[in-house]
A = this chain, B = another copy of it.
């Protein structure tokens, strides 16, 4: 691989890969992508397993090295490409950003994701109940936290890495259609984020691999996805 290239191993609907897309577009870092279709199980191939032995996207090839795990990648991008920062300057605000990131990355995403729900039960209804339970718990915690830290965005009035992690998870709620009345800060911020050009570029619904039926969802507030009337 040409060491001057930046290459993202990506899937349109991976929450973790989406974070990295958000950061790459935000920082104006040009990158190529390699599509790893999680629905077809391509992440389980021997070849991909050599890049990431827990068989998850994203993997980023950058500065001549492969880096896995989305937060490790994004912290590396921030350290090596500090222009267009994704963290506030104040340490307490940075901690607030990382709290939100960690609830999403270490609680909600691993526990509610389809692979975990499918491992927990063969019944589709039980898989949905499983995912919904962790969604509700995590979203309730996030709403509580964000209601205290947010201004226009998750932490104050500047866009941070917390927003870059939140957007994908909100979009995923289209499966559950939660009542936005219970999560006013989260849904308000989602609508704000959709106005930002780099967030629209990185959005799953803008991705070349997104199925046509989902492409429209970019233009809609999330709570109308399943209930357009």
Contacts and interface: CB of A to CB of B under 8 A. Distances in A.
B110 A95 contact: no
A122 interface: no
A195 interface: no
A138 interface: yes
Nearest to A79: B91
B109 A111 contact: no
Interface stretch (A1-9, A66-74, A184-192, A213-221): A66-74
Interface string A101-114: 11101110111000
A120 to B, nearest CB: 5
B53 A75 contact: no
19 contacts: A53-B140, A53-B141, A54-B107, A54-B137, A54-B141, A65-B92, A69-B102, A70-B102, A71-B98, A72-B99, A72-B101, A75-B95, A75-B98, A76-B91, A80-B91, A102-B105, A106-B106, A106-B109, A120-B120
Given A54-B141, A119-B130, 20 more contacts: A52-B141, A53-B140, A53-B141, A53-B144, A54-B103, A56-B107, A63-B92, A67-B99, A71-B98, A71-B106, A72-B99, A75-B94, A76-B98, A79-B91, A102-B105, A105-B106, A106-B109, A107-B110, A119-B120, A120-B120
